[in-house]
Structure 1
Amino acid sequence: MDAWSNLDLELVGRILASLAVVLVLGVLRLLILRTVASRSSDVRVRYRWWKATAYIAVLLSVLFVGPIWLESVQTTATFLGLASAGLALALRDPLANLVGWIFIVWRRPFEVGDRIQIGEHAGDVVDLRIFQFTLLEIRDWVAADQSTGRVIHVPNGQVFVNPLVNYTSEFEYIWHEIPVNITFESDWQRAKAIIQEIADRHAGHLSQDAKDRVRRMGGRLMIVYSELTPIVYTRVVSNGVLLTARYLCDPRRRRSMEHAIWEDILQAFAEHPEVEFAYPTQRFYRRRDAEPGWTE
């Protein structure tokens, strides 16, 4: 009882007031999230509300709780100046990550759901927080940009020190190429027509949507494409004729589209004996008749 009576009542009042503010904001956030969950089954909508209410709750907590504890400080500016100087030295990396978060939220180089690459890491953005964002990793030991199942936590400050590649922002398509090597003896014109028809069938429908997106980006980005439809290029290499199919595809369907196109190419070439794949071979010639003046 004596110990309780000796407590600083002013300190107790500040603690209780701070807890009351946090409790009220927490209850309001919980009610908002329950309302959103009852009205929407979309995971993305729920996630955005969860993140937005968390940021707002933290901001309001600072705004309401801060003055409670700053009443005894003569000048708020002096206190903030001293605190910021110490924090700048002790929390350099966390501050860089905080500024990185502000940059990401303001400039939007990527959003949750985008597929990006930053430095050596690539994946789908599945979470964005004040100090870090989270990627569902692709590549590494897995081919064709498919998921490895691992989660990578990247500090937000990395957006200032590493190049950032966004696969799905703005244009939302990537170019992919499939090289098909046939022998010199093959009917290369027939093979080229077959590959062109297959590429048109699988990717031709994406061209118009891609053109519309390029047109909408005209005021923001200087992107110029003379050709957005699938095309097959011809090139002579050491062991045959190389036919390269170039087409647009969804970044997340690159492997499945290549798989489907290759199966159609294999089936079509099997029906045309005048077309043969080229592959590394060795030929040996035997000299049967010795030429004059030649000895073995």
Structure 2
Amino acid sequence: MYYLWFTVRSREFNIQTLIEEINNWFAQYPILASLAKYLVWIVLIFSIVTWVRRVLKRRLPDNSLRYKSQKGIEIIGYFLAILVSITYFSGSIKDFGLAIGLLTAGITITLQELILSIAGSFYIFFVRVYKPGDRIEINGIKGDVIDIDSIYTTMMEIGQWISSDNYSGRIVKLSNAFVFKGPVYNYSKDFPFVWDEFNLPIRYGSDMELAKDIVISVAQKHLSEFVRASVSEWKHVVEKYYIENAQVEPTLAITMTDNWIQFNLRYIVDYKKRRFTKHLLNEEIGKRIQQTKGKVLLASATFEIVNIPTVNIHDKTSTNKKN
């Protein structure tokens, strides 16, 4: 019993001695003590943020809600870290000056891209340049945004070796710093429609009025829904930006060329249905033209040979025989 009591007392004494030695060491180096306490707070904050994100990821069934909650917790963590940094170092002018000096020394050429990426993430969030689900083009890369974190924007790539607006299958991670380095094309922000067009060559001698009726009727049939939806959306754009009102109804322009009469159909369409809509329009217009039984004909490139020059062939073998 006495041995057990002595062991406990010895351990308490050792712990107390260790604590006293640590306190004495920190007393000798107050700057290091302040930095150590600060780092403990920062590690604690981000540990709690990581734990909360994991809990929300397991318990929230909805994909969208789970994503937004995790991003919200991440932003709160950054805010708390900044708040702790300001309140912790502002109490001592000497320590605050040291912190500023260390921070300045840490901003080197190798960290510029990282710092710019973090600044870009705040810019994207507060200015709402784009959000997950938007279709954008940035730094020559086009795709749908599937994630935005503190450093990277993740996109599902569109195009490249794939024609039109189809996924290539590659997931691209792009630095958030690129929002400061060039234009960002957003296909869906404020106005989720784009204008598209295609050309239709009609042979000379075709029934022009019948051809126009076919193109216009097909366009009205397949594009009326997009026109109705885009009218109200465009009103919001006009109210928000300094821009004139635009015509969202399909328009047909006719141009006379050397080889054919060119019909140019311009129309508005949902940015995600551009390729399929163009397929529907071409398919039905082609069928309607075939049903005209030759009154309307599609044209193709032709070549006319005006004159064939005379070619004289001189046979050296026959000449040598005569000699």
- Same fold per TM (> 0.5)? yes
How many angstroms apart in 2 are the aligned matches of 1:17 and 1:108? 31
2:103 equivalent to 1:84: yes
How many angstroms apart in 2 are the aligned matches of 1:119 and 1:18? 34
Pairing 1:144-163 to 2, within 5 Å after superposition? 144-163=164-183
CA RMSD of aligned residues (A): 3.1
Pairing 1:27-106 to 2, within 5 Å after superposition? 27-35=51-59, 37-38=60-61, 41=62, 43-60=63-80, 63=83, 75-90=94-109, 91-106=111-126
1:101-131 deviation digits (Å, cap 9, x = unpaired):
1211111111111111113111111111111
Give how far 1:19 is off: 6.0
> Are the aligned partners of 2:147 and 2:155 in contact in 1 as well (CA < 8 Å)?
yes
The amino acid across from 2:301 in the alignment is P
2:251 equivalent to 1:231: yes
Structure 1, gaps ≥5 residues long: 288-296
Give how far 1:64 is off: 5.5
How many angstroms apart in 2 are the aligned matches of 1:65 and 1:109? 28
Aligned to 2:262: 242
Aligned residues: 281
The amino acid across from 1:141 in the alignment is W
> Are the aligned partners of 1:21 and 1:64 in contact in 2 as well (CA < 8 Å)?
no
2:239 equivalent to 1:219: yes
Give how far 1:269 is off: 0.8
1:203-255 deviation digits (Å, cap 9, x = unpaired):
12222221211222233212323421112111111211001111111111111
TM-score by length of 2: 0.76
- SS state of the match for residue 247, structure 2? coil
Aligned to 1:276: 297
Structure 2, gaps ≥5 residues long: 1-10, 27-32, 309-323
Residue 202 of structure 2, aligned match among 150, 162, 182: 182
- Structure number with higher relative contact order (C-alpha < 8 Å, ≥ 6 residues apart): 1
> Are the aligned partners of 1:116 and 1:124 in contact in 2 as well (CA < 8 Å)?
yes
The amino acid across from 2:184 in the alignment is L
Pick the structure with more helix per residue.
Answer: 2
How many angstroms apart in 2 are the aligned matches of 1:260 and 1:30? 46
Aligned to 1:291: none
2:144 equivalent to 1:124: yes
Pair 218,165 (structure 1): closer, same or farther in 2 beyond 3 Å? same
1:62-110 deviation digits (Å, cap 9, x = unpaired):
6559988x69987342123112211222411111112211211111111
Max Rg structure: 2
Aligned to 2:185: 165
TM-score by length of 1: 0.83
Give how far 1:31 is off: 3.6
Give how far 1:172 is off: 0.9
How many angstroms apart in 2 are the aligned matches of 1:71 and 1:161? 34
